[in-house]
A and B are shown apart, each in its own frame.
Chain A
């Protein structure tokens, strides 16, 4: 290990003797098991997906893999089904991410100012859905939405209204937004809440002396101070939403006809692989989606580097 290399690392200003530099090699021992898994189950699948996306295999090629260059990508980005799916998850991002963030932020800000037993219980109750598997969550809401099982008709009947069909093509978008919001707001709320708790309360005292009210303190002081947590949550929500799969897949059989098997890009890739055994094209779709998610979150982190503190 060269001295210049170790000096480039942060906090490496300590004198480095020969024994000390040999000791640094223990790092390899600690990192090796993870590096092996990282290579086999991340680098290798990614590389293999890329390779498969550049080849075709089938009856037309006599069962051999034939290099086809960018053909599959040209096909994917002119495939109306894939493009429609992309556009759909983009709309989910535009609606679902802000809804989740706003609900989580409001809940966390309220919980931060109240220290009552009710607020402690509420904090726990909002978080519980995080512990529910997405499959079970979607299944449960599928029952609640169902005109046959659900309480919707009873509840709307009280108000003299007729319940809408939550599982119709027209309403399924909102119904899915609701499921994901229910599932994830608690997790985001806990992260925001913990960030709020870590703010030194003396920061507020000056603002109170200047006559600021709760809302001003919340919006002008608290929110800017937790911006790095907010950025992190948005990235999580963004990545999760773009790979939307479980909830629509589970709701598919309850919402007869409202959710096609290619509703989202991930569902399309899954169906292409496992219903039609087109693994080369499925890999192309998966790789293209993964690439777009990666670029999307990278661009977002770049644009918000000031708020997140990542430079």
Chain B
């Protein structure tokens, strides 16, 4: 309201500070200019990716990098992804999907159970476990990759899908978020009332607790799915079979080959189009699920 009245003032001295509101007219224009610059900075690389995915392999080197070329080759490139190396790109795409869903859903289930258990039950060893959990948030996950590789090799799980999925189930941050959220979102009185009515602990969990935890569940699901979809170090280390790679490692390999190799191995158009297609699902998910994550991602900052 205050902003619209300010905006309706036709002329305002740029240097004068409007003390009736926190934002003056000149400052408002300045703020918008800064915002536009920021928006351009964050969008231009993605714009480039979208435009470049419509170009042929040679078209990428010619003409204006930030505008469409003479040929619109997006469909040719997509077809190319189906034929190059027997369409292995789509195998990678499917693998990424499997890893993200299995890792994301699995990690969320474990986090919700553990977070709720830590928040609402006072069992022996609870404080020790919670302290361990808090400490583990500060353990860099990449420090675990090399010993995990050796362990998985001992279990005979190396070079299987399990090698990526099982370690992805670990999300200390997820447990922490649910535990913090459940503390206040699930009142003791509601649980006690349910118990008086004769509901068992499991029935309470499914019928009373889960609906109350929904915002935390969506947030943890989003965080863990993104983390698994984006994972690179772990699959790079534990997978050798090209047919098991997620799209991130697969495209990385194509790029390394194209940079090192000559003529026929250079598939820049496929790398660019493959990269573009691989970011579409998550970007679409984020744009369509706005109202869930915008509140949810800040859970960790609310004590």
Contact = CB atoms under 8 A, between A and B. Distances in A.
B60 A297 contact: no
A308 B285 CA distance: 32
A118 B270 CA distance: 34
Given A113-B31, A211-B19, A243-B142, A9 B114 contact: no
Nearest to B226: A131
Given A41-B170, A45-B151, A135-B251, A24 B123 contact: yes
A265 to B, nearest CB: 10
A90 interface: no
B140 A293 contact: yes
A1 B123 contact: yes
Contacts of B61: 148-149
B19 A131 contact: no
B20 to A, nearest CB: 8
A289 B143 contact: yes
Interface-central residue, A128, A134, A182, by most chain B CB under 10 Å: A128
B135 to A, nearest CB: 8
Interface string A230-255: 00100100010011011001100110
B199 interface: no
B147 A33 contact: no
Given A5-B124, A154-B64, A129 B42 contact: yes
B82 interface: no
A298 interface: yes
Chain A residues touching B, majority SS: helix
Contact of B143 (A113, A130, A279, A287): A287
B35 A122 contact: yes
B23 interface: yes
A118 B35 contact: yes
Interface-central residue, B32, B34, B142, B148, by most chain A CB under 10 Å: B142
Nearest to A9: B122
Contacts of A232: 300-301
A206 interface: no
A14 interface: yes
Chain B residues touching A, majority SS: helix
A273 B295 CA distance: 42
Interface residues of B, number: 108
B53 to A, nearest CB: 11
A156 to B, nearest CB: 12
Contacts of B120: 27
Contacts of B303: 228, 309
B48 interface: yes
A77 interface: no
Nearest to A132: B279
A30 B114 contact: yes
B166 A110 contact: no
A208 B232 contact: no
Contact of B283 (A11, A38, A131, A254): A131
Interface of B: 3, 17, 19-24, 27-28, 31-32, 34-36, 38-39, 41-43, 45-46, 48-49, 52, 60-61, 64-66, 109-111, 113-114, 116-118, 120-124, 126-127, 129, 132-133, 135-136, 138-151, 166-167, 169-170, 172, 175, 188, 195, 201, 205, 226, 229-230, 232-233, 237, 248-249, 251-252, 255-256, 259-260, 268, 271-272, 275, 278-279, 282-283, 285-287, 290, 294-295, 297-298, 300-303
The 3 A-B pairs with the shortest beta carbon distances in the complex, nearest first, are: A30-B117, A27-B121, A194-B298
